[in-house]
Amino acid sequence: MRAHIITYGCQMNEYDSHLVASELVSLGWELVDSVEEADFVLVNTCAVRGKPVEKVRSLLGQLRKEKERRGLLIGMMGCLAQLDEGQQMAKKFGVDVLLGPGALTSLPEALKANERFWDLTFREDVLDYIPPPPKGALSAHVTIIRGCNHHCTYCIVPTTRGPEVSRHPDLILKEIELLKQAGVVEVTLLGQNVNSYGKDQPGFPSFAELLRMVGGMGIPRVRFLTSHPVNFTDDIIEAIAETPAICRYIHLPVQSGSDRVLRRMAREYRRAHYLERIRKIREALPDAVLSTDIIVGFPGETEEDFQETLSLYDEVGYDQAYMFIYSPRPGTPAYKHFQDLPREVKVERLMRLIEKQKEWSYRRNLEWVGKTVEVLVRGEAKEEGFVQGHDRGNHPVLVPASQAPVPGLYQVEIKQATPHLLFGEVVGAKAPAPIPCPWPRG
């Protein structure tokens, strides 16, 4: 029996796809790379914006045709599966197995059932599952907390993933130890809001304490995603500053620079608080690389509000930003209570923000020219003759393929910068010795 998994959405979904893939393998399934080869196609869905939802709708339409033609089993999991919108789709397109993000460990039972199997419960054992290390990977994700306790008015995630639940630290450390033994050199701790780690369970370490624990395990690089400006407290900054393994790359979503918009978003902080956090980060970690998420065209956002986002961008001078046009999500407070802005207004603002982002990324990238950085080379680049990796600040870095013949960690001197890329040359000793293996490697 052969299965194919298609994944939309964020790193949490990628992790969950890896989790179900390992469940399938342990049940004796073979994983294949295409729908055509598969008896079971499982779609891991995202509902954060309209676009991924529409992609799933059209994919399910194609899968239903395939099912009618040759009797395929269709599975749907992830965030959209948890919503009415997704369940309507599942009915319409003949989905056989439907699992919410908390029900992934029901898969074996679902595959045994000879009828439609839907599970939308939160199963405690989803926290206990330790997927085996991804084959040959140098970099891996580890979920440390599921769910979100914030209630940003635009966001569907608290509805799809439920309240925050932290994984037991022993499980996290065990999973990371296995990754280390398998040759992984970079671990990313994942959660919708990793900063809240431990708060829901008496006796668990705080996020800052967990960072120190993981940072002391001998993994060369430890990263984390995502932080929330309200929960990004001084103890976390101190833990990063005092733990060399932790990468000084901080993704701190601001969403808007306008207090009026932040209030309507229910972001729980104001511009001044955010900028104070940035000041504190810069003071303790002068070499920190900063990135953010910004939503443009939130309902009621005026030109003045948008100008405040642009001015905040200049005040911080982000290295990188992920910018989104506001997408009304049924079931969210903003969808119910606020009027969406015209599309032209939103698109025009996004274009101006992208210009700002390019200017700053170029400026920030140029600051790295002449410096030596540690690059995790992972595979061939699109550019002929180069391999690609990323440094500790998450910048994509290209080096001549002849200088980095195998994937691994290299010391690289940056020679050139563009708004999107750094180009460098391998210098001196590789640090530490890369693990030899054939291309391609994840």
Q: Which does 158 bind (CB under 5 to 8 A by kind): ligand SF4, ligand F3S, ligand SAH, none?
A: ligand SF4
Long-range CB contacts (< 8 A, 24+ apart) of 176-182?
176/142, 176/214, 176/217, 176/219, 177/217, 178/130, 178/132, 178/133, 179/133, 179/140, 179/142, 179/219, 180/217, 180/218, 180/219, 181/133, 182/133, 182/137
Residue 329: CB minimum distance to ligand F3S, A: 9
* List of residues contacting ligand SF4 (CB under 6 A): 148, 150, 152, 155, 157-158, 192-193, 228
Q: Is residue 152 a contact point for ligand F3S (CB under 6 A)?
A: no
Residue 16: CB minimum distance to ligand F3S, A: 8
Comparing CB distances to ligand SF4, the nearer of 148 and 323 is 148
Q: Is residue 21 a contact point for ligand F3S (CB under 6 A)?
A: no
* Distance from C-alpha of 165 to C-alpha of 420, rounded to nearest angstrom: 36
Residue 48: CB minimum distance to ligand SAH, A: 5
Q: Is residue 89 a contact point for ligand F3S (CB under 6 A)?
A: no
**Annotated binding residue 152:** yes
Residue 131: CB minimum distance to ligand SF4, A: 23
Q: Which does 326 bind (CB under 5 to 8 A by kind): ligand SF4, ligand F3S, ligand SAH, none?
A: ligand SAH
Residues facing residue 143 across a β-bridge: 190
CB 119 within 8 A of CB 35: no
- With CB under 6 A as the contact rule, the residue among 13, 309, 327, 388 that binds ligand F3S is 13
Residues in contact with 71: Cβ distance below 8 Å, sequence separation at least 6, in sequence order = none
Comparing CB distances to ligand SF4, the nearer of 184 and 265 is 265
* List of residues contacting ligand SAH (CB under 6 A): 48-49, 148, 154-155, 157, 192-193, 226, 228, 253, 255, 293, 295, 324, 326-327, 329
Residues facing residue 295 across a β-bridge: 324
Q: Which does 295 bind (CB under 5 to 8 A by kind): ligand F3S, ligand SAH, ligand SF4, none?
A: ligand SAH
Comparing CB distances to ligand SAH, the nearer of 159 and 388 is 159
Q: Is residue 157 a contact point for ligand F3S (CB under 6 A)?
A: yes
* Pair of tokens at residue 238: 């101190």
Q: Which does 49 bind (CB under 5 to 8 A by kind): ligand F3S, ligand SAH, ligand SF4, none?
A: ligand SAH
Residue 191: CB minimum distance to ligand SAH, A: 8
* Distance from C-alpha of 143 to C-alpha of 147, rounded to nearest angstrom: 11
Q: Is residue 48 a contact point for ligand F3S (CB under 6 A)?
A: yes
* Distance from C-alpha of 10 to C-alpha of 83, rounded to nearest angstrom: 17
* Distance from C-alpha of 100 to C-alpha of 44, rounded to nearest angstrom: 10
**In this structure, are strands 165-166 and 145-146 parallel, antiparallel, or unpaired?**
antiparallel
* Distance from C-alpha of 91 to C-alpha of 76, rounded to nearest angstrom: 11
| E-assigned strand segments in 60-102 | 73-78, 97-99
Q: Which does 12 bind (CB under 5 to 8 A by kind): ligand F3S, ligand SAH, ligand SF4, none?
A: ligand F3S
* Secondary structure (H, E, C), 108-165: HHHHHCCCCEEECCCCCHHHHCCCCCCCCCCEEEEECEECCCCCCCCCCHHHHHCCCE
CB 255 within 8 A of CB 325: no
Residue 22: CB minimum distance to ligand SAH, A: 25
CA dist list (Å): 370 to 141, 221, 415, 416, 426? 31, 22, 6, 8, 12
Residue 254: CB minimum distance to ligand SAH, A: 9
- With CB under 6 A as the contact rule, the residue among 67, 161, 356, 378 that binds ligand F3S is 161
**Annotated binding residue 79:** yes
Residue 388: CB minimum distance to ligand F3S, A: 24
Residue 146: CB minimum distance to ligand SAH, A: 12
**Annotated binding residue 155:** yes
Per-residue buried b or exposed e for 19-49, using 16+ beta carbons within 10 Å of the residue's own CB: bbbbbbeeeebeebeeeeebebbbbbbbbbb
Q: Which does 329 bind (CB under 5 to 8 A by kind): ligand SF4, ligand SAH, ligand F3S, none?
A: ligand SAH
3-state secondary structure of 358: helix
**Annotated binding residue 437:** no
Chain centroid to CA 327: 19
* Distance from C-alpha of 49 to C-alpha of 69, rounded to nearest angstrom: 31
Comparing CB distances to ligand SAH, the nearer of 154 and 249 is 154
Binding residue ranges for [4Fe-4S] cluster: 10, 46, 79, 148, 152, 155
* Residues within the interface to ligand F3S (CB under 6 A): 9-10, 12-13, 46-48, 78-79, 156-157, 160-161
